[in-house]
Chain A
Amino acid sequence: EAQVTQNPRYLITVTGKKLTVTCSQNMNHEYMSWYRQDPGLGLRQIYYSMNVEVTDKGDVPEGYKVSRKEKRNFPLILESPSPNQTSLYFCASSPQTGDEQFFGPGTRLTVL
């Protein structure tokens, strides 16, 4: 089944404790992206990747890192999480930048 998977789906952590949210797609898509969704603000792009080893900042990259060592994986790293990073995070992929984006199921993160 073609899909985008994210892990973990739910995470409660404390300020400053490094964490990684994994994202994997099995559709051989070149383009992948991370978003966060907050009430009243919609989805905002954190980082995106056009292909392996090619990444760039989105609109809200502060406090996040990404890597794209393999085509299928695009992990999101929070080196020192803070409470303002409490949010719902979505990973998405598409075959080309102009095409429909397929979203993962989301990761609900709470930073205490």
Chain B
Amino acid sequence: RKEVEQDPGPFNVPEGATVAFNCTYSNSASQSFFWYRQDCRKEPKLLMSVYSSGNEDGRFTAQLNRASQYISLLIRDSKLSDSATYLCVVRRSSYKLIFGSGTRLLVRP
């Protein structure tokens, strides 16, 4: 079983839709959590950190449920430019990040 699991998708949604991704992690000692965005054949870039209290950045909302060991990302009012792969990332220790294999999002006109 992978340490960080994501539904690979693709999620195919129309512009303006709300879409949610979940991610589960197996190591209960994981320290911190992130969502990264990766465009096709490009480098990953930090989208947002995920805090226990939940956090929002514009159209993006991230939530963490430590008890159930899952992380979610909600995107409201999807734009064509949101089409990308979203990577769930868990910090296992000070020096190790564990990446999920990503969820692909396609936003259609």
Q: Give the interface of A toward B (CB within 8 A).
A: 31, 33, 35, 40-45, 48, 50, 56, 58-59, 88, 90, 97-98, 100-101, 103-106
Chain A contacts for B96, CB-based, 8 A: 45, 48, 58-59
How far is it, in angstroms, between the C-alpha of A13 and the C-alpha of B44 when the chains are bound? 26
Jot down 21 A-B pairs with beta carbons below 8 A, ordered by A. A33-B97, A40-B8, A42-B2, A42-B87, A42-B100, A42-B101, A43-B87, A44-B99, A48-B96, A56-B95, A58-B96, A90-B44, A98-B94, A100-B34, A100-B46, A101-B46, A103-B44, A103-B45, A105-B43, A106-B41, A106-B43
Given A98-B94, A100-B34, A101-B46, 9 more contacts at CB 8 Å? A42-B2, A42-B99, A44-B99, A48-B95, A58-B96, A88-B41, A97-B94, A105-B42, A106-B43
Q: Give the interface of B toward A (CB within 8 A).
A: 2, 4, 8, 32, 34, 41-46, 87, 91, 94-97, 99-102
